[in-house]
């Protein structure tokens, strides 16, 4: 496995991987949980939102970075992070690993790469967010295996 910095030619595949990775959450978990009306307002255009977001993830002049994992020209996954130098803080914005490569240390390698890059920019801590639902249980277990501490947080929604 080879880790490298993002290049513009990666964009289409990263968008595709992001949609593949998080589509089941939006369509099979979030939509049934909140109902059609809230879903439409919160994430009704989630695919287009990712097309926009992923295109803006790598802006080194703004301390925003993406690293890609690949093997034999095959994209295995990617991690996107931001460093806030004034706060000595790093944030993992997105982590996506192709389904067939999960549980093979790709995510660990990507996160450790991002953590090292954050430390190099003098970040003292990292924040990683994920959901509290069943879909995100593997992500929570993974982040805990990296030594991250889950913060108690509750978010509620209700139709009016």
pTM of the model: 0.92
Average pLDDT over the chain, rounded to whole? 95
pLDDT value at position 158?
79
Q: Distance of CA 86 to CAs 93, 121, 122, 126, Å?
A: 18, 10, 10, 14
DSSP character string of the chain: -EEEE--GGGHHHHHHHHHHHHHHIIIIIIHHHHHHHHHHHHHTTHHHHHHHHHHTS-BGGGTEEEEEEEETTEEEEEEEEEEEGGGTEEEEEEEEE-GGGTTTTHHHHHHHHHHHHHHHTT--EEEE---SSGGGHHHHHHHHHTT--PPP--------
Q: Which of 55-64, 101-110, 114-123, 150-159 has the lowest mean pLDDT?
A: 150-159
pLDDT band with cut points at 50, 70 and 90 for residue 157: confident
> For residue 154, is pLDDT > 90?
no
Nearest to 144 by CA among 134, 154, 136: 136
pLDDT value at position 148?
95
């Amino acid at each position: 496995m080879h880790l490298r910095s993002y290049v513009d030619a990666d964009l289409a595949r990263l968008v595709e991987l992001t949609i593949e990775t998080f589509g089941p959450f939006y369509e099979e978990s979030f939509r049934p949980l909140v109902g059609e009306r809230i879903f439409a307002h919160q994430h009704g255009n989630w695919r287009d939102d990712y097309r926009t977001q992923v295109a803006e993830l790598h802006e080194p002049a703004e301390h925003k970075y993406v690293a890609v994992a690949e093997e034999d020209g095959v994209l295995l996954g990617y991690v996107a992070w931001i460093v806030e130098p004034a706060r000595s803080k790093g944030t993992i914005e997105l982590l996506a690993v192709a389904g067939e490569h999960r549980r093979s240390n790709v995510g660990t390698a990507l996160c450790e790469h991002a953590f090292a890059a954050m430390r190099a920019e003098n970040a003292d801590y990292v924040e990683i967010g994920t959901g509290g639902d069943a879909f995100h249980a593997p992500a929570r277990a993974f982040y805990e295996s990296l030594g991250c501490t889950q913060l108690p947080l509750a978010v509620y929604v209700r139709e009016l």
